[in-house]
Amino acid sequence: MWSFSQIANNVHEWLGRTFSPSMALFFEMVLAGIAVIGLFALLGLVLVIMERKVSAWMQIRLGPNRVGPKGMLQSLADTLKLLVKEGLTPDGADKFLFNLAPFIAMIVAMLLMAPVAFARDFQLWDMNIGILYVSAVSSITVISILMAGWSSNNKYSLMGAMRSGAQIISYELSAGLSVLSIVVLTGSLQISEIVHSQANGWWIFKAFPTVLVSFVTFIIAVTAETNRAPFDLAEAESELTAGFHTEYSGMKFALFFLAEYVNVFIVCAIGATLFLGGWMPFHIGNWQGFNHVMDYIPSSLWFFGKTFFLIFVIMWFRWTFPRLRIDQLLTLEWKYLLPISMINLLITTAIAILGWHF
Question: Residues 25-50, buried b or exposed e (16+ Cβ, 10 A)?
Answer: eeebeeeeeeebeeebeebbbbbbbb
pLDDT in tens, 302-349: 999 999 999 999 999 988 888 888 889 889 999 999 999 999 999 999
- Residue 68: inside a domain, yes or no? no
Rounded to an integer, the average pLDDT of 21-48 is 89
- Residue 136: inside a domain, yes or no? yes
- Judged against a pLDDT cut of 70, whether residue 138 lies above it is answered with yes
Rounded to an integer, the average pLDDT of 147-152 is 91
- Residue 13: inside a domain, yes or no? no
Based on the structure, what is the number of domains in the chain? Answer: 1
pLDDT confidence of residue 164: 85
Structural domain harbouring 129: 86-354
- Looking at residue 324, what DSSP letter applies? P
pLDDT in tens, 278-297: 999 988 777 888 888 888 88
Helix or strand or coil: residue 309?
A: helix
pLDDT band at 52 (very low <50, low <70, confident <90, very high): very high
- Give 16-20 contacts, CB < 8 A, sequence gap 24+: none
Q: Are 152 and 98 in contact (CB under 8 A)?
A: yes
% of the chain surpassing 90 pLDDT: 45
- Residue 53: inside a domain, yes or no? no
pTM score? 0.92
pLDDT confidence of residue 1: 46
- Assign residue 15 a region (left: φ > 0; alpha: ψ between -120 and 50; beta: otherwise): alpha
- Residue 172: inside a domain, yes or no? yes
pLDDT confidence of residue 262: 92
pLDDT confidence of residue 221: 94
Helix or strand or coil: residue 41?
A: helix
- Residue 276: inside a domain, yes or no? yes
Q: What is the mean pLDDT of the chain?
A: 89
- Residue 182: inside a domain, yes or no? yes
Rounded to an integer, the average pLDDT of 262-273 is 94
pLDDT in tens, 205-259: 988 899 999 999 999 999 998 888 888 876 666 666 667 888 888 888 888 888 9
- Residue 43: inside a domain, yes or no? no
